[in-house]
Structures are given as C-alpha cells and as structure tokens.
Structure 1
Amino acid sequence: MEKISFILANNAKIMYCLHKKQKWVKCALRAHHKIRRYMTLAFLKKIHGKYRRFWTCVEKSSFWENDVPTFKNDKFKNTFRIDRSTFQYLVDRLKNLQRADTCWRNAISLEKRIGIALYSLASSAEYRTVASLFGIGRTTVGEIVLEVCREIVFEIVNGFELLGFPQCYEAIDGCHIEVKPPKGEASDYFNFKGWYSTILFAAVNYRYRFTYINIGVQGRCNDSSIFECSALKAYHINNVLFARHFKFIEGVKVPILLIADSAFKLSPYVMKPFPFSVDQIEGEKMFNKKLSSCRRVVENAFGHLKARFRKIGKGLEVNIKNVNTIIKACCIMHNICNNRNDNINQGWIQQSDF
C-alpha cells in the first residue's frame, strides 16, 4: 500500500512538472511571436513612416454604385464619352477582364473596371482623383486602365481566331495601282505585270479595315522588300506586348503574328504558308487552307477599295505627286464606310473584276 502511494505521489509530481513546463513553453512562444510582431511593425514604420494595421484600405464612394445608374443618356455620354449601348458592347466583348471573388475580398466588377478605364481616358483627372471617385487605390486605377487597353488591342486577335487562325493580329499584302509617271522615272514604276504602278502596302484586321498603309513605293519593288523597310516591321519587333501575349498551341509557344503569302520571309512575327509540293502532307494542306482563308481579308479590302472608288481600280491619271494623297484619302473613307456599316454593293465588285 505504501509502495502504491509512493508511485502515485511521484506520478503527480511528474505531471505537475510537465504541466509547468508546458505552460512555460507556451509563454515563451507567445513572447517570441510578440517580439517578432513588434520587430515587423518597427520595420514597416521605418520604411513607410507609419504602422500598417490592414492589408487593404477600404475606400467608400457611392459614385459608381449609386450615382451612375441614375445618369440619363446625355450625362452618361458626357461623363464616359460613349453611349450606354457602346459601353454594353465593350462589356460583352471584354469578358476576359472579369475577376473572381476571393476569401479576402470581392473582386471589382467587370462593368466597374471598364467604367474606371473609360473615365480615366475620357477625363483629364489624375489617377488619385479617379481613385477617390470610384473608391479604389490609385495604383489599382493604373493597373485597370492598362489591362483594359491591352484587352481592347488584343480583341483583334480573337476576331481572327473566330475565322480559324489563332494569334493573328493583321494580314499584310501589297496592291498595284496604275499611274502615269514622268518619262524620266518610268522605268522605276514598271512592274512585273507589264504596266506602270505605285504600290499600296497595307495591314488589314479581321473587319477589313486598314490599320497600316504605306503608299508611294515604285511598282518595280516587291511586297517583301517594302515590309522589310517599313515602320510596321519595326513596330512588331520592338513591341514587347506581342511577345508577352503568347499562347501554347499543341505544346508550341506562339506569339502574336502577322500573316502573309509565300512571297514574304518567314520570321518570329510573320507567318507564311508551307511551300507547295505534290506529295504535301495533310496537316500542311490544312494549315495553308486556314492561313489563306484568313489572309483573304486583306485581298478583300483591296477589292472593296477598288470597287467603291473606281478611279483606284482603273488607274490615276494625275500628277504623280498627288497620287499618295488620293490613295490615302480613299483608304480613310473605306474605313469610315466600314465603321458605319455602309456595306459595299456586290454588283460593284463584279464590275471592278472586268
């Protein structure tokens, strides 16, 4: 009996010691964490000049949530510089800008993101003012503006993808327009087709709109040499956005590209068809078919230009110094008509083919 009491007493002492040690360990850990917390706060104070108690600063503003929905159409357009219908069009087309809510905070809605970008671009207000108006941070305003602008630029790529060729930005080609050059310069304008011409070199998007034009090169030059010396090539080489906006297709990293016919040089920013061969494999045939069908937009744009403005198709009998101005004006009017859905008459296209 005495032995049992002795064992129980020893066990009680051991448990008591363990309990005290456990309490001491917990106290030591709390003290350690407290010291680390104060050291972190002291470091933040040294950097920012003040303590940072919260990871996000909650701004309160009722402009977008309460005021904008009550705007009449005139006031909405005066504020954002576009109609509500155009705003909704952007919302429908820029779905990739939508962000998901997280456990930490709710994401800024797609409509608000586009509204922030439009207000920033449409007004002369500083980002600090826009941030206060929409109840977000100044840095967030800058990030949203850049994200929306990038998405609008690369929306053209999505258009070509619907046509069947992903990662395409524009289609490029050249068009010969007949002119009457001075006798002393006639040999420079004599083209491989056997007549005198100047070349309209252009880049066209999937909507048949001219996004780049190079006018005035003599007809004896070829399209590839014009492109190699053009500002369009330099723009694609130096624009890092095209390289960064890549996409993996069948395991291959594909950047934003221009598409062209077989006369152009193959490069990291220009895609051309596979060379023709009698025993060409099926995959190459399919690739060439897709590329040619999408590249047709630039040929169709030239066809519409000549059909609408027949003087371009039949030839310009004016002083060679005035040719560039006339062609440039016709390209601009072509874009205006295209933008306003002033469609080309199919009968005009048939007449221009003869």
Structure 2
Amino acid sequence: MERPCFDILVNRLEVLRKKDTNCRAAIPLEKRIAIALYTLDSSSEYRTVGRLFGVAPNSVCNILHEFCRALIDEFSKEYMSPNYLTSDKIDECVKGFEAIGFPQCLGAIDGCHIEIKPPAPEAVDHHNYKGWYSTVLFALVDYRYRFTYVNIGSAGRCNDSMIYQKSSLAKHIEASALLQEKAKEISGVNVPVMLIGDWAFRFSKKLMKPYPFSTVASLEQRTFNYNLSKARRVVENAFGHLKARFQIIGKGLDSHHKNNSAIIMSCCILHNILNMHNSAINENWELATNEQREQPDTSNSSADFNQSAEQIRSAIAKYCVDRNEN
C-alpha cells in the first residue's frame, strides 16, 4: 500500500485512536492501522506480528478485528455500496466490457473458496469437493476488477449457481427495469444488459454462459466462448489480486468463525480502495498465490436450455464474429 492510501485510512479511522492511561501509553493510531494491514497482508501468525511490532499477540488480534469493523462502517457505503444498478454505473460497465469485446455486460460473477476452521457442528457443511473446509466469497466484478457486489459466508459444499440463485443480487437483477430499458438491438435481437458466468450457472436472458464444449463447434460458437472467457477473466483476476494483496485470504483464516465475514469484507473494500487509486500489484505477490489451495471445480449445468436466452447468445455470437472480421 502506497503512503497516500495509508494516510486516507489514518485520517478517516480516527475512531480507532486510543487514549493514554495512568498505567501505559496507548498504541498510536498509525501503528494500530499498520499492525492490522500487516496481519491482513501477510501469512504470519499473531505471535509473529506481535514480535515484529512489539505488542502482545492478543493485542494484534483485537486490533485486527477493531480495524475491520471500523473500516466497514466508514468505507462500505463508498466502496461497496449497492449502486451497481444505477443508470450511470450500468452505462460505465457496458462501455468498459464493450472495449474488452463483449457487449451489454454489467459484470462477471464467480465464487472463491477461502479456507477456514469451522466449528465442529458445521464442519460437514463447509467440507468442499477438494477435501478441505471453506467458506465462499461470491462476487460480481466490473471491468476494472472492482468488487461491486459480494456475498460472504456460504458453506463450502454449496455450488456457485445455488449461491447466486439465493442471493439478493439475483433478485435485484431479475427485478431491475433498467437492464431491459438499456437493451440494444444486436443482429436483429433485442439484447438486455446482463451478467456473464461460467458453466456452473443457470442459463437465462440475464445471465450468459459459454456454449457447451463440442469438437464440431461452429466459428460463431468458438468466437463467442473466447470473447466471453476474455471478459469473464476480470473476476478471476480480481480474486487473484485479492489473494496477492492479502495473503490471509489465500492461506486461510485462523480467526473465530464469527469474525471471518468481517475480515473478508475488509479485504474486498481495501482492494477496491487500492484499485481506485491505481495501486500496483507486485508480480512476486501473484507468484505466491500459485502455492495456495486449489479451488474446487465448478459443477457443469450445461444441459439447461432457454429459447429466449439462446436467441440472445446466437445474436451476440454473430456480433463477435462480425466485430473480429472488421
């Protein structure tokens, strides 16, 4: 984190400042924020962080959780507010994804499994298909790798499509009149603004996914899959950047399960803050993510069929071919 971003946190998280007592001097605000950031940014244990900063391990734990709560209270409305369905945001995202090569796209959705230590009664629900315990960070990501919607806390055994169908995001997407109002005619078909996802999701007019794999796929189908994959990469890159910046996400959470959601949300907000200030990603950080847990495979629901959605997919496929030829 560059100094200007750190200074923003210091200036706006004054609530974390503590007063000196008769027994001892309080830990300065700047040091408290630095301790919290270092804990999120590294895979070190509280004991190691405490030795580095000269504080007790339990102080590191308390400072981290206080920081996360304060950060969410102060920055969530600004950097994680439910404004992804406003007219200006829709226009911005459609234009951004159009430049990438996919029309009428609001954002890409996907899930990321984060290792946790669940309480014994909930362990079986959190046991994922790769054989380890996880909670799911489900996210909608825009063309700039920013998290515009997050759903945190689903058990590891849940698949992405199930999480999406039960989420407030799905309800808002289906109920939004703006997405249809901003429809655009493509190859003779009225195409609304939509989300894009991988094989796991249920195919619909508001959610595009690739054509099923086929050795005899047409040029239009292959081109569509390529362009969708290129646009959908934004969500994969966002998760990659999140894990690179905050190794606590990649290595897994050791905290009490009740604190996990606040830690994950704080990392997402910090990611957006750094993204908005064009903070660079170090290549060595990204290389370190290769050593982390392998993500569970997504289930394939490619057998579903929707006639109206298929017309839209065919129109976009033809558009992609025509665009590449021009």
**TM tier relative to shorter chain:** 0.5 to 0.7
Indicate the residue corresponding to 2:140 in structure 1: 203
Instruction: Give, in whole Å, the separation in 2 of the partners of 1:267 and 1:282.
Output: 22
Instruction: Give, in whole Å, the separation in 2 of the partners of 1:178 and 1:251.
Output: 47
Q: Does the Cα contact within 8 Å between 2:242 and 2:249 map onto a contact in 1?
A: yes
Q: Please give the per-residue CA displacement for 1:195-235, whole angstroms capped at 9, x wherever unaligned.
A: 00000000000000000000000000000000001100111
Deviation at 1:236, TM superposition (A): 0.8
Give the secondary-structure state (helix, strand or coil) at the position aligned to 1:215: strand
Q: How does 1:168-317 map to 2 (within 5 A)?
A: 168-317=105-254
Instruction: Give, in whole Å, the separation in 2 of the partners of 1:315 and 1:339.
Output: 26
Indicate the residue corresponding to 2:277 in structure 1: 340
Q: Which amino acid aligns with 2:187?
A: E
Q: How many residues align?
A: 206
Give the secondary-structure state (helix, strand or coil) at the position aligned to 1:154: helix
Give the secondary-structure state (helix, strand or coil) at the position aligned to 1:199: strand
Q: Please give the per-residue CA displacement for 1:218-276, whole angstroms capped at 9, x wherever unaligned.
A: 00000000000110011111110101101111111100000000110001100000000
Q: Please give the per-residue CA displacement for 1:100-148, whole angstroms capped at 9, x wherever unaligned.
A: xxxxxxxxxxxxxxxxxxxxxxxxxxxxxxxxxxxxxxxxxxxxxxxxx
TM-aligned CA distance change 1:153 to 1:282, over 3 Å: closer
Deviation at 1:182, TM superposition (A): 1.2
Instruction: Give, in whole Å, the separation in 2 of the partners of 1:150 and 1:318.
Output: 39
Higher helix fraction (1 or 2): 1
**How many percent identity over aligned positions?**
54
Instruction: Give, in whole Å, the separation in 2 of the partners of 1:312 and 1:151.
Output: 32
Give the secondary-structure state (helix, strand or coil) at the position aligned to 1:312: helix
Instruction: Give, in whole Å, the separation in 2 of the partners of 1:235 and 1:152.
Output: 15
Instruction: Give, in whole Å, the separation in 2 of the partners of 1:254 and 1:208.
Output: 24
Q: Which amino acid aligns with 2:271?
A: H
Instruction: Give, in whole Å, the separation in 2 of the partners of 1:293 and 1:207.
Output: 13
Q: Which has the higher contact order (CA 8 A, sep 6+)?
A: 2
Unaligned runs of 5+ in 1: 1-148
Q: Does the Cα contact within 8 Å between 2:90 and 2:106 map onto a contact in 1?
A: no
Instruction: Give, in whole Å, the separation in 1 of the partners of 2:243 and 2:254.
Output: 15
Instruction: Give, in whole Å, the separation in 2 of the partners of 1:343 and 1:292.
Output: 24
Deviation at 1:181, TM superposition (A): 0.6
Q: Which amino acid aligns with 2:264?
A: I
Instruction: Give, in whole Å, the separation in 2 of the partners of 1:201 and 1:152.
Output: 20
Deviation at 1:150, TM superposition (A): 2.6
Deviation at 1:151, TM superposition (A): 4.0
Indicate the RMSD between aligned Cα atoms, in angstroms. 1.0
1:319 aligns with 2:319: no
Instruction: Give, in whole Å, the separation in 1 of the partners of 2:227 and 2:89.
Output: 24
Indicate the residue corresponding to 2:310 in structure 1: none
Instruction: Give, in whole Å, the separation in 2 of the partners of 1:151 and 1:335.
Output: 18
Deviation at 1:185, TM superposition (A): 1.3
Deviation at 1:153, TM superposition (A): 3.6
TM-aligned CA distance change 1:151 to 1:216, over 3 Å: closer
**TM-score, with normalisation over the residues of structure 1?**
0.57
Q: Which amino acid aligns with 1:206?
A: Y
Instruction: Give, in whole Å, the separation in 2 of the partners of 1:175 and 1:352.
Output: 13
1:163 aligns with 2:100: yes
Instruction: Give, in whole Å, the separation in 2 of the partners of 1:317 and 1:184.
Output: 17
Decide which structure has the larger Cα Rg and report it: 1
Instruction: Give, in whole Å, the separation in 2 of the partners of 1:188 and 1:152.
Output: 36
Q: Which amino acid aligns with 1:250?
A: S
Instruction: Give, in whole Å, the separation in 2 of the partners of 1:194 and 1:208.
Output: 29
Deviation at 1:152, TM superposition (A): 4.9
